[in-house]
Amino acid sequence: MADSTPKIQPATTGELDERKAAILNAVVAEHIDTAQPVGSNSVAANDAVKVSSATVRSEMVALEREGFLVQPHTSAGRIPTDKGYRFFVDHLGRGVLPQTQHSTLSNFFSHLRGEMEDVLTQTSQMLNEMSNYTSVIIAPSHASATVRSVQVVDLGPRRCVVVAILSDGEAVRRTLELPFEITPEQVNEASTQIASLLFGNTLEQRVEVPSRDTPVATLVREAIASLYRSTPTFEEDRVYIGGSAKVADTFDTVEAVRNVLGLLEKEIVVVNLLEDILQQGLSVAIGSEHGYEPLSTAAVVVAPVTVDGEVAGAVGLLGPTRMNYPEALATAEMVSQQLGQRLGDLIGDR
Amino acid sequence: MADSTPKIQPATTGELDERKAAILNAVVAEHIDTAQPVGSNSVAANDAVKVSSATVRSEMVALEREGFLVQPHTSAGRIPTDKGYRFFVDHLGRGVLPQTQHSTLSNFFSHLRGEMEDVLTQTSQMLNEMSNYTSVIIAPSHASATVRSVQVVDLGPRRCVVVAILSDGEAVRRTLELPFEITPEQVNEASTQIASLLFGNTLEQRVEVPSRDTPVATLVREAIASLYRSTPTFEEDRVYIGGSAKVADTFDTVEAVRNVLGLLEKEIVVVNLLEDILQQGLSVAIGSEHGYEPLSTAAVVVAPVTVDGEVAGAVGLLGPTRMNYPEALATAEMVSQQLGQRLGDLIGDR
DNA sequence: CTTTGGCACTCGGTAGACTCGACTGCCAAA
DNA sequence: TTTGGCAGTCGAGTCTACCGAGTGCCAAAG
């Protein structure tokens, strides 16, 4: 048993002696596989554990005392705690993605075409199908992109739309209600004024706008103000979720499913969650390590997406605490790396 | 019991005599309330039913023979079939939204600001919270919007972005890889050429493009081709879903939850689903009436959103077949009407 | 002919008794 | 220190009995 796809390789042990580590390893691995409490007998059957079940039992008592394992009830096997899982991912097996996955992956990326939105949507779907966990991708922020062009377009009576195009190819669009009619010439005039005012700046760097009171000046002021105004959807559009339906399968209780889905709906929270985890330098957040209540029965695997050496986004997998960490880690890392390359090509040098 | 929010008003009966209708009504109402099979006794207790339980029993046998009810097993009460629900929504009580909801609704809309995306996102969330069902909103299609402006922006070596602004305020953006370097003057030249070629046309009306072989002509051709190319996200962006987490609560089986969530992920399918239902002239699709397998245990309530007298979108609520139809219908209709008005203001005359 | 109360019957669900088996913890011997 | 053995615990499954909700049928009343 426990022959899930990636081979688990023994690694150095930490604060636990080698035997305890081997036992913990065996417990975690089997529990991930079977979702059942693990007893001393099946642990003793593991090749890496070279002692009898009686010894295993006494070691398990110690592991329980130290907080790595819990017993759901007397006369049951044991289940890893969050701390147990943490030790597992820190010290024990790292997965190696089998060749087949590796090649389907590069095959996928070589056939991938289109705008960044499409690339990310498709990647998150693929990632979900590949890992069987819900996938989350955070796209690069537009915060550091600079304005390359601005245009105001007249849409009809007292209504126009202003579009700014950023150096990363993103278009920021705002509609404007004007208190007065305006001529095409004035619209053009405003367009060029705005463009020259904002060109080369990010939308975060606020630019001084002359406050005269002509129609054109008002339009310019209003348009720039609207571009500076951030809309709720702007940050949320960075989130791509693949396979939220999987949540219904991977988590056991309705409660957990509701919580996780509820959180996934709040996309800004998702962005923060992943960024928090990365900021802490983690690649896995287990149980309540990330401090997000609704995810206390979940684990999140994250890999940063680096473009031109800078962290630009993230790839995440979300599952129950007893998710297959070695495999999930390997998959997320692989995908984030490939995706980073791809995004690099897509954005080009700014 | 069965005192859910909207008052249920007796209405004309159809192919069923009045007594059968009253009994069916009672069964459906109580089953919606309790989610349990309904027996002859509780039906007889209903004020609208003026006969004894024995009579109710024999009528229920008839209703079962005619396919309006089923018995999960002998010695259990009865449950409405899809046909039973259908009769209920067609002939029986229509809900009237209580004053409180009505006023929170108009309050909500009067405080609603921002771009269409934001309006729709917030409305779908509000609709979900108000109805406790998963809400779906389909935004107006851009198919009939005409091009008002096109601009090509140089982004760096051999890369540029082309943005078309449509009469409804939408921006269509495509990035382009060029096989050659290009000067700012050429970009401008191309911009104006494309704009004058496409101006006033929709993106569905294909325009003849002169096929010369100069850099500018190539750029023009490529840019127009890219605008005509529809991307996967374009139609999908019309869908706004509020409260997919509710699916976990409203449906009873994991199977159903997975199916529904899986379908909600495929946003194009959601668009088609709602449009199909409206096309059939229905406002409710129960069970398999819509022909979408995964939703065979679900019901969908739809109300068209009309802008300037034309159907421009839809508002939907998705729940189990035993959802509270009177309330859901009333809510969806109310919201769709208000939303239609709001979108009318937002789009203005094109 | 319709409606009704009565009655036998069905069947799901619950509670209790019992068994089985998977564990553990402890202990004495190696 | 490790191990096998053993008693003890407790969940899960099975069996039985029983209760009660609900039906179908029927004969009598309207």
pLDDT tens, A254-280? 899 999 999 999 999 999 999 999 999
Instruction: Quote the radius of gyration of chain B (alpha carbons, Å).
Output: 26
Which of the four pLDDT bands, split at 50, 70 and 90, describes residue B5? very low
Q: How many angstroms separate the CA atoms of B22 and B16, rounded?
A: 9
Instruction: Report the alpha-carbon distance of residue A151 to residue B150 in Å, rounded.
Output: 10
Nucleotide nearest to A76 (CA to C1'): C23
A74 Cβ nearer than 7 Å to chain D strand:
yes
* Confidence category of residue A175, pLDDT binned at 50, 70, 90: very high
For domain B147-233, give the fold: Enolase-like; domain 1 (3.30.390)
pLDDT at B6 over 80: no
The answer to whether strand D lies under 7 Å from the CB of residue A41 is no
CA distance A40 to chain B (A): 33
Residue nearest to nucleotide D23 (CA to C1'): B75
Binary contact (A165, B151; C-beta < 8 A) = yes
Q: For residue A4, what pLDDT band results from cuts at 50, 70 and 90? A: very low
Residue A2 confidence (pLDDT)? 36
Q: Residue A64, CB, less than 7 Å from strand C?
A: yes
Q: Mapping DSSP to helix (H, G, I), strand (E, B) and coil, where does residue B178 land?
A: coil
**Residue in B326, B332, B329, B335 with CA at minimum distance from that of residue B6:** B326
User: Please, where in chain B does CATH 1.10.10.10 lie?
Assistant: 7-91
- Chain B residues whose CB is inside 8 A of the A166 CB are none
State whether the beta carbon of B62 lies below 7 angstroms from any atom of strand C.
no
> What is the least distance, in Å, from the CA of A325 to any CA of chain B?
24
Distances (CA, A) of A265 to A158, A259, B188, B243: 36, 10, 42, 7
User: Do residue A148 and residue B153 have CB atoms under 8 angstroms apart?
Assistant: yes
CA angle B273, B275, B278 (to 5 degrees): 110
d(Cα A274, Cα A132) in Å, to the nearest integer?
Answer: 19
**Residues B93/B10, Cβ–Cβ less than 8 Å:** yes
Judge contact between B132 and A325, C-beta under 8 A: no
**Do residues A31 and A324 make contact, with C-beta atoms less than 8 angstroms apart?**
no
Q: What DSSP line would sit under B189-220, residue for residue? A: HHHHHHHHHHTT-BSSS--------SHHHHHH
Which option is the CATH number for A147-234: 3.30.390, 3.40.50, 3.30.70, 1.10.10? 3.30.390
Average pLDDT over residues B183-202: 93
What are the residue ranges of CATH 3.30.450.40 in chain B? 97-141+238-347
Q: How far does the CA of A55 sit from the C1' of C27, in Å?
A: 14
Chain B neighbors of A254, CB-CB under 8 A: 248-249
Tokens, residue B231:
């991307």
- B334 falls in which pLDDT band (50, 70, 90)? very high
Across B294-311, average pLDDT: 95
Q: Which of the residue ranges A211-225, A304-318, B22-36, B86-100 would you say has the lowest mean pLDDT?
A: B86-100
Under 8 Å CB pairs connecting chains A and B tally to 126
Return the pLDDT at B348. Answer: 63
| Main-chain dihedrals φ then ψ at residue A330, nearest 5 degrees | -60, -45
- Across chain A, mean pLDDT equals 89
- Average pLDDT for A236-260: 93
Identity of the residue numbered A299: A
Q: What is the C-alpha separation between B46 and B49, in angstroms, rounded? A: 6
pLDDT tens per residue across span A198-219: 999 999 888 888 888 888 999 9
Q: Describe the strand order of the beta sheet including A147-156 as a list of residue ranges.
A: A147-156, A159-166, A171-177
Which nt has its C1' nearest the CA of A75?
Answer: C23
Structure tokens given for A256: 């957990």
Q: What topology does CATH give the domain B97-141+238-347?
A: Beta-Lactamase (3.30.450)
Mean pLDDT of B307-312: 92
- Dig out the tokens for B70 from the structure: 């089923």
Q: Which residue has the higher pLDDT, A310 or A157?
A: A310
d(CA A172, CA A159): 17
Q: On chain D, which bases lie within 7 A of the protein's CB atoms? A: 2-5, 8-11, 20-26
Contact A348 B244 (CB under 8 A): no
Asked whether residue B14 carries a pLDDT value surpassing 70, the answer given is no
As a rounded value in angstroms, the CA-to-C1' distance for A182 and C12 is 76
Q: What would the mean pLDDT of B252-281 be, rounded to a whole number?
A: 94
In this prediction, residue A248 carries a pLDDT of: 94
Residues of chain B with CATH 3.30.390: 147-233
A218's enclosing H/E stretch is helix A215-228
Q: Indicate the CATH number for domain B7-91.
A: 1.10.10.10
State how far the Cα of A341 lies from the Cα of A303, in Å rounded to an integer: 14
Do the beta carbons of residue B76 and residue B37 sit within 8 Å? yes
Q: Give the pLDDT confidence of A13-38 residue by residue, as tens digits.
A: 457 788 999 999 999 999 999 999 99
- The pLDDT value recorded for residue A14 is 53
Q: How far apart are CA B63 and CA A52, in angstroms?
A: 67
Mean pLDDT of chain B: 89
Q: Is the pLDDT of residue B1 over 50?
A: no
Predicted local confidence at residue B94, as pLDDT: 67
DSSP states of A114-146: S-HHHHHHHHHHHHHHHHSSEEEEEPPPSTTPB
Q: What is the pLDDT of residue A92?
A: 67
φ, ψ for residue A100 (rounded to 5)? -60, -50
